[in-house]
Structure 1
């Protein structure tokens, strides 16, 4: 049984998460489940954090989980719970530092 909102917007979304540089393009299921305004809320759930460098340029995305005992210190998620793709944007940073 399919659950849908009747609109075509979900059909345009991607079926697996993509890492574009150090930014995350979430799959349709992850995009739908993300809480909005992660940087400004203490809500529990899956949150997308945007990390800015010292020049205040958006440099990296992280998906974090706030739940239970980890509601004040969220856990960084390394893979998508829906499509299984890696969300390790920090690996690109470690690789570039080694070169």
Structure 2
């Protein structure tokens, strides 16, 4: 028998706004109990001398730094645009809001 009751699973499903049948509640109670057991096992394995981490591998920033480089003028960028207004691309309105 599952340590998680069918009523507890039904309560969590209600909080998540998920409708479950009686068969699904019974099946999920066992599956969720296994998941909770697996998480407990990981908690037992964790040693006090291992610092908590958000990722198992070291992370480093792989983006390049921003550098000012020569680029198009507004007039050159808008030269092939179908429509432009006030140095910006003009596009059709999709919302009726102001």
TM-score normalised to structure 2 length: 0.19
TM-score normalised to structure 1 length: 0.19
Higher-Rg member (1/2) = 2
Which structure has the highest strand share of the two?
Answer: 1
